[in-house]
Amino acid sequence: MPWMTGKQAFLEMLRAEGVKYIFGNPGTSESAIISTLPLFPDIEYVLATQEGVAMGMADGYACASGQPSFVNLHIETGLANGISLLHHAMDGGTPLVLTSGNKDIRKLTEGRTDLAQMVAQFTKWSVEVTHCEQIPGVLRRAFNEAKTPPTGPVYVGFAANSLEDEADMEIVPSGQGFHRTAPDPAAVQVAAGLLAKSTSPAMVVGDRLAQSGGTGEAVRLAELLGARVYTTSYARMNFPSGHPQFLGRINAVLPASRELLSQSDVVLAVGTDVFSGFFYFSGPSLSQNTRLIHLDSAHRAVGKSEPTDVGMIADPKTGLADLADAVEQAMSGSVREAARSRGVSVAGLKDQQRTAWDERLKQRWDQSPMSAERMMVEANGALPPDCIVVDDSLSSKDALHGAFQFNQPDSIYGERVGAIGWGMGGALGVKLAQPDRPVVGVVGDGSAMMTVQALWTAACANIPVVYLVCNNRSYRILKLNMNLYKTQVLGEDTADSPSGLELPGLDFPIPLNIAGIANAIGVYGRTIEDPADIAPAIKQALDSGKPAVLDVVIDGSV
């Protein structure tokens, strides 16, 4: 085995794992790594001036490349700044390896932070390397853990002495891994029997379905059953949004959504948590007369919080293919005809949704400031067919999904949990992973401001992302959630209580001038108030081949 320093073994392992980019913000604890990196010209250090940007870039890159990404932050201070979006990565199952340096292990009397413990609850595996001989094996396991379903982030800390010491070390990367586990055949038969007899089936899908590449299998089964299809999250194209049986996003913990799902006699949940949300409501989410089937690669999610009649731990794509075959065999001719009729009825519900959205768009078409709906319609008309949308639109999400259809895999990547600030860095990571496709980030003004330092990285590295900022001059998402809190949790009538505009901390008395910040940092920025300017501005920005910010002023009322 070759004799080398820990810092050399560190970078040799990254090379062996195929790492192209280190996303990071370094400090003194990373001196050993930075000083050695020039010897590895095939690994590019992408500098962020704020840790949330580095985390967002790594998250977006991992999602769009399908490979684990790599982040390097600075001891406890930089690591702490990255925890918000580390939580985002953990909740969304992003395969990434996060690292940071630490003090020498011999500095026990002076005190040193337990970095691994600090981030343990937000990772699949969290560990600190204390001897250089550990480096190849620990990094190999880290990448393996990150990419093994259920995928997620891993943390590795490095004591300073481990990077400087020398030893015989063998550089062997993690294996390819074959993770398409099939479901238990007995579970398939029980689930197929329930679905084949169902008279009002519903499917609830999540992003682990898209991650498995099982959207086509989900469409086949939904059409076979004539089922209503909802999604708990749409951070990936987990079901074609233009499909006549797709009825959009649902917050399954809210009473209205519980009632909607309980109208089904069988609910099939695939690749999603069942069911999660911030607000607490007592009792099960489904009625006693509704049977729940949960198919997921995340074994801890199955049966975690809801009574589950059939739990199927398997790769969603593989499991759905087996389930569809079994359902098709179990359905008689009359049952198939009933399912086709159900499908027609569901398509009617889709048409009603479309009509309602079109009516809202018509009513708000000439509004000033422009409505979010108008902004999204104008933007949709300007984007090329192969464009990737990075969705961090938050409270404008309904408008985005009303105007856009996402029917192709990898056409959208989005934020997943309550940690805002993902989209600015996320869009850069997606573009680095997909350099030949145009990337447009649709970002709320509050979220953009959280990690606006991403614009500096975009300028320095010339990463040509076009940002569309939904500038409603407020944390409008908090106003929407405030209304939910008052009406759903407190049982109040919002007409009898102060409006969100009168509550502290929800509005920006000085509007966030994201276009002005962009210009100051070296990125083209333009404020847009006229809807007619959106399409030509997008075309100009995309044609420039440079990063750009189009700061669109929209209505922020609730």
Q: Which tokens belong to 488?
A: 């759903």
pLDDT value of residue 277: 82
Tell me the pLDDT of the chain averaged across its residues.
95
Q: Tell me which long-range contacts 357-365 makes (C-beta under 8 A, separation of at least 24).
A: 357/402, 360/402, 361/402, 364/555
Paired strand residues for 312? 295
Confidence at 252, pLDDT banded by 50, 70, 90: confident
Collapsing DSSP states into helix, strand and coil, what is residue 380? helix
End-to-end CA separation in angstroms for the chain: 65
Distance CA 347, CA 244 (A): 5
What number is the average pLDDT over the span 103-130?
A: 95
- Asked, as a colleague might, if the bond just before 153 is cis with ω within 30 of 0, I would say no
pLDDT in tens, 427-451: 999 999 999 999 999 999 999 999 9
Min mean pLDDT across 101-110, 198-207, 361-370, 485-494 is at 485-494
pLDDT in tens, 265-303: 999 999 999 988 888 888 888 999 999 999 999 999 999
What number is the average pLDDT over the span 461-478?
A: 95
Q: Give the H/E segment covering residue 549.
A: strand 548-553
In the Cβ-directed half-sphere of 385, how many Cα atoms lie within 13 Å? Answer: 2
> Would you say 208 and 316 are in contact if contact means Cβ atoms under 8 Å apart?
yes
Q: Which tokens belong to 365?
A: 């078409």
Q: Please tell me which residue, 189 or 480, carries the higher pLDDT value.
A: 189
Min mean pLDDT across 89-98, 215-224, 250-259, 422-431 is at 250-259
pLDDT at 498 over 70: no
How would DSSP label each residue in 478-522? HHHHHHHIIIIIS---GGGS--GGGSTTSB-SS---HHHHHHHHT
Q: Please tell me which residue, 548 or 494, carries the higher pLDDT value.
A: 548
What number is the average pLDDT over the span 398-414?
A: 96
Paired strand residues for 3? 168
Percent of the chain at pLDDT exceeding 90: 88
* Backbone region of residue 394 per phi and psi (left: phi > 0; alpha: psi in -120 to 50; beta: other values): left
Q: Is the dihedral of CA 344, 346, 349, 350 positive or negative?
A: negative
pLDDT in tens, 187-232: 999 999 999 999 999 999 999 999 999 999 999 999 999 999 999 9
* Rounded alpha-carbon distances, angstroms, from residue 204 to 154, 318, 418, 483: 28, 17, 21, 25
pLDDT value of residue 340: 96
* Backbone region of residue 548 per phi and psi (left: phi > 0; alpha: psi in -120 to 50; beta: other values): beta
What single-letter amino acid sits at 334? S
Distance CA 504, CA 88 (A): 26
> Would you say 102 and 112 are in contact if contact means Cβ atoms under 8 Å apart?
yes
Residue 75's contacts (CB-CB under 8 Å, 6 or more residues apart) are: 27, 28, 29, 100, 101, 102, 103, 113, 115
What number is the average pLDDT over the span 6-34?
A: 97
* Rounded alpha-carbon distances, angstroms, from residue 32 to 102, 106, 108, 267, 462: 11, 17, 21, 54, 27
pLDDT value of residue 219: 98
What single-letter amino acid sits at 388? I
Distance CA 172, CA 309 (A): 43
> Would you say 423 and 392 are in contact if contact means Cβ atoms under 8 Å apart?
yes
Residue 333's contacts (CB-CB under 8 Å, 6 or more residues apart) are: none
Distance CA 96, CA 533 (A): 39
Distance CA 22, CA 273 (A): 31
pLDDT in tens, 297-338: 999 999 998 999 999 999 999 999 999 999 999 999 999 999
From the list 405, 418, 467, the residue with the least C-alpha distance to 442 is 467
Q: Give the H/E segment covering residue 127.
A: strand 125-129
Distance CA 526, CA 536 (A): 12
Q: Would you tell me the crossing angle of helices 215-225 and 333-363 to the nearest 10 degrees?
A: 110
Confidence at 496, pLDDT banded by 50, 70, 90: low
pLDDT value of residue 500: 44
Q: Phi and psi (nearest 5°) for 32?
A: -60, -40
What number is the average pLDDT over the span 375-403?
A: 97
Distance CA 498, CA 445 (A): 24
Residue 368's contacts (CB-CB under 8 Å, 6 or more residues apart) are: none
pLDDT at 501 over 50: no
Q: Which domains does the chain show, CATH number per domain?
A: 3-168 (3.40.50.970), 185-351 (3.40.50.1220), 365-473+508-553 (3.40.50.970)
> Would you say 82 and 55 are in contact if contact means Cβ atoms under 8 Å apart?
yes
Residue 14's contacts (CB-CB under 8 Å, 6 or more residues apart) are: 22, 40, 43, 70, 139
* Rounded alpha-carbon distances, angstroms, from residue 59 to 119, 236, 339, 442, 445: 17, 13, 40, 16, 20
Neighbours of 175 (CB within 10 A): 10
Angle at 146 between CA 141 and CA 149, to 5 degrees: 115
Q: Give the H/E segment covering residue 359.
A: helix 333-363
Neighbours of 358 (CB within 10 A): 12
